[in-house]
Chain A
């Protein structure tokens, strides 16, 4: 593993901020690498949990947000489950994702940030997830309109995806939550 560290935006890099956002103490990691051994996406992401932690130790800055694992992590929490120091690495990744959006880092292949926006926008509007609308929005935005099209006829025939939008949710409370979060995001803790 070769780690290249670029110039951090702040003197100490992202580590203190990530620790505050995730509530995780990264100092206790002693690089046993059980997390990386169990990570299902370390190979396709070309980066592993223990490596991300080490880079944070060494003062990595915003360049870390382009690491493949940031958006390819499945939140399967195998790393957390097996960590001898109980480091919640999935929470670290969630913090890196929030930072990556806040700092406008270029979306990775597959554009997970777009998927999340589409998902949450449908929840905000309908109070529940509306798969068809979410999928259509994601496909239009990501230019992957033709992917999986051969599956839709049988899914529709078998009732494996809802055609009509969901109804019945208490939309008022959902909108209130989204409104509050939107207003207070990034404000001092």
Chain B
């Protein structure tokens, strides 16, 4: 039981770390542009497909993940910008519907052109390490390390780099940031590109474990929304921390209750958290 518990804790950490990449992108976008991007899960799907195609062409997993992430980040960011830009001054609902529509179109195009079947690859590392009486895959630990590394890097970039400080400034007070000369359109584009890229990176990293199919994004986005709502809309750090908690509740909880009940417990915890947060609004932190 102790070995199983340890494995589930590690599983929770790596699921949480990858979920955090998707959720952090959502949180970043909400913080900077005040929009909810329903297509975020579909950039996860595109990341998975990009890595699958690139791996077939290059046979190098690391190169495929890096190049795939960059391609989806740039093209996805620009696509989002093209759709969102004309709607920025209009109702938030229009943007929400536009990203929902974009997601549905991407899912349908993926089904039409790539087929509805599941595409999977073997983990690039077949190594495992002993944990008590069982063995744990090294690749899962690498995902955990990369996920946490990217999030820590993102956190420090937000704190100390020029564009990081500007992203936070625009999130907190856009008119004042503009009046100080911060290039707001460039900051918007950066947020869109980084947000798409984080999702694509998660899709690429998890391809060997969860596979990719046209609707994989829909499965991911629900948890990501739970995380972002519970962590505080627009709160990059909150999203990262809650992701790990959700991953742990799902993995460790699976030892004790059925998946259906686990979801009930998860939603219950989120509601509880929201009730506590609503009484301590002053503690909400943006980016």
Do A and B actually bind?
Answer: no
